[in-house]
Amino acid sequence: MRSIARSETLFARARNCIPGGVNSPVRAFRAVGGTPRFIARGEGPYLYDVDGNRYIDYVCSWGALLFGHGFSPVREALLEAMGRGISYGAPTEAEVELAELICRLVPSIEKVRLVNSGTEATMSAVRLARACTGRPHIVKFEGCYHGHADSFLIGAGSGALTLGVPSSPGVTPGAARDTLLAPYNDLEAVEALFAAHGGQIAAVIVEPVAGNMGCVLPRPGFLEGLRRLCDRHGALLIFDEVMTGFRLAPGGAQERYGVIPDLTTLGKILGGGLPIGAYGGRRELMDQVAPEGPVYQAGTLSGNPLAVAAGKAMLGSILADPGLYDRLEEQAGMFEAELRARFARFGEPVWINRAGSMMGIFFSAEPVVDYRSATGSDTRRFARLFHALLHEGVYLPPSPFEAFFLSTAHTEAVLEATLEAVSRALEGQSG
């Protein structure tokens, strides 16, 4: 690796004018230490920093880049759209086409509203669920991330399972009171919440595969159980598929696991790297949204022509390639098996979770199935691996609690180069 002098200089300047030097906290490398790399460009599976170092990228813009950096159908769609202006604040044909594509691909969605981020999608979906049920509370799972709206920045209080407390200053106790928490994969805890607060619970919101405490899979029966409990108690089930949507199947986790939620939120891959989000669901629920119904939600740039053009190119490319997800599964499965073999060779106890092209590595001898087991892993060991791999030209997410992703640009040769880097990193660290 060459120097990182320019990244260091930029980071110093950035910290002077941007909180922590970054526009989203994890980018600052606080979880692993060191200097974040300032990126000059991305191409295929690679990131290039401002000092000219090249990295094989497993962040993929936090999952958005299913086809890698600079995917030409998206670039061409953007150039074409840009030739016709940037934003109109009035309806367009392209947003109708994108909405039709989303309805066609995602099983639970009959009508959809476009917004500008995943955060907007989840906060709007929760408002809609509260309006449709006339109930105040939501159930969320520890370690699941649904964006930074007040009702989601809630942690488990000490002792009592059911009482949420603000996990950020600035969130009011009132907001915390309306969010009930349960451990991921723990149906009994959800059942207990319904027993205690059933008539007050508007919705259960869940990442159907959790990707914000590392990658944590739903136990067999977990999602089905949530569906059953929501039905029994008249609550809505919200799948937050901002990460899993178009990642695990054309129709997301709901297609992969065959459990159909009432409302679904989308983002990330939907924009192919541009800012976009969406929430959708059954017709009669979505018809409660303004101006059709009374539930207010709006956006100056919602349905922005550039974001919509990128979205159409992404979903069009997914539709055009029926073998896409099988190939990703196969590549990622081989990669996972090889990773396991390399860690085993060095006697490192790791727990690897994977769903399709979404993965997480935990330094843990125990199964990682929820927030407690994820945070019980050896995070210092992860930080050392992160830096060793960065030095070898492999860019993992700078936190043990973020999933990493393969894209179609991660060819066998690229994966092989990554595995060699892993071996070198482990060799350098053993003994």
Ligand X SMILES: *Cc1c(COP(=O)(O)O)cnc(C)c1O
Q: Which is nearer to ligand X, 51 or 240 (CB)?
A: 240
SS (H, E, C) 135-151: CCEEEEECCCCCCCCHH
* Residue 145 sits in the site that holds ligand X (CB under 6 A): yes
Nearest CB to ligand X, comparing residues 208 and 387: 208
Q: In whole angstroms, give the CA distance from residue 352 to residue 199.
A: 39
CA distances to 12, 83, 114, 246, 320 from 71, rounded to whole Å, are: 32, 19, 22, 16, 15
Identify each DSSP E strand in 44-102 by its residue range: 46-49, 54-57
Please identify, among the stretches 82-90, 112-120, 255-263, 381-389, the one whose residues bind ligand X according to the rule CB under 6 A.
112-120
Least distance (Å) between residue 243 CB and ligand X: 4
- Quote the least distance from Cβ 242 to ligand X, whole Å: 4
Active site residue 268: yes
- Nearest approach in angstroms of CB 110 to ligand X is 22
Contacts of 294 (CB under 8 A, 6+ apart): 131, 288
Comparing every residue's Cβ against ligand X, the nearest one is 118
- Check residue 272 and report its DSSP letter: B
Binding to ligand X, residues 271-290 (CB under 6 A): 277
For residue 25, the minimal CB distance to ligand X (Å) is 11
Concatenated DSSP letters of 293-344? SSB----TTTT-HHHHHHHHHHHHHHHT-TTHHHHHHHHHHHHHHHHHHHHH
Residue 164 within binding range of ligand X, rule CB under 6 A: no
Residue 399 as a binder of ligand X (CB under 6 A): the answer is no
Cβ closest to ligand X, residue 53 vs residue 244 = 244
Please select the residue that binds ligand X; options are 44, 118, 183, 225, rule is CB under 6 A: 118
Distance CA 247, CA 19 (A): 31
Q: Tell me if residue 240 is catalytic.
A: yes
Q: Is 368 in the site for ligand X (CB under 6 A)?
A: no
Residue 387 CB, shortest distance to ligand X, in Å, is 25
Q: Quick one: 74 or 425, whose CB is closer to ligand X? A: 74
Shortest CB 5 distance to ligand X, Å: 31
The contacts of residue 284 (CB under 8 Å, 6+ apart) are none
Contact flag: residue 237 with ligand X (CB under 6 A): no
Residues 6+ apart with CB under 8 A from 220: none
Nearer to ligand X, 67 or 279 (CB): 279
Q: Does 270 bind ligand X (CB under 6 A)?
A: no
Neighbours of 122 (CB within 10 A): 28
Is 49 annotated as catalytic? no
Q: Which is nearer to ligand X, 236 or 425 (CB)?
A: 236
Applying CB under 6 A, the span of 113-121, 130-138, 318-326, 366-374 interacting with ligand X comes to 113-121
Report in angstroms how near the CB of residue 34 gets to ligand X at its nearest. 23
Check whether the bond before 305 is cis (ω within 30° of 0).
no
The footprint of ligand X on this chain (CB under 6 A) covers a number of residues equal to 15
Of 55, 268, 279, 371, the catalytic one is: 268
The Cα 369–Cα 377 span in angstroms is 11
For residue 429, the minimal CB distance to ligand X (Å) is 30
- Establish if 146 lies at the interface with ligand X (CB under 6 A): yes
What letter does residue 375 receive in the DSSP assignment? Answer: H
Q: How far apart are CA 320 and CA 310, in angstroms?
A: 15
Task: Specify the stretch interacting with ligand X by CB under 6 A; choose among 124-132, 158-166, 197-205, 237-245.
Answer: 237-245
Find the catalytic residue in 57, 178, 240, 262: 240
Stretch that binds ligand X, among 39-47, 236-244, 288-296, 352-360 (CB under 6 A): 236-244
The two tokens of residue 130 are 């509260």
Q: Which of 267, 281, 311, 400 binds ligand X (CB under 6 A)?
A: 267
CA torsion, ordered 62, 63, 64, 66, to nearest 10 deg: 150
Instruction: For residue 205, give the nearest of 137, 267, 251 by alpha carbon.
Output: 137
Spatial separation of the C-alpha atoms in residues 19 and 402, rounded to whole Å: 21
Main-chain dihedrals φ then ψ at residue 363, nearest 5 degrees: -85, 85
Catalytic member of 55, 58, 145, 395: 145
| Other beta carbons less than 10 A from residue 394's beta carbon | 22
- Binding test (CB under 6 A) with ligand X, winner from 53, 108, 122, 302: 122
- The rounded distance, in Å, linking the Cα atoms of 407 and 325 is 10
Query: What does the per-residue mask of binding to ligand X show for 177-216, with x meaning CB under 6 A?
Result: ------------------------------x---xx----
> Annotated active-site positions, please?
145, 240, 268
List contacts with ligand X (CB under 6 A).
Answer: 117-119, 122, 145-147, 207, 211-212, 240, 242-243, 267, 277
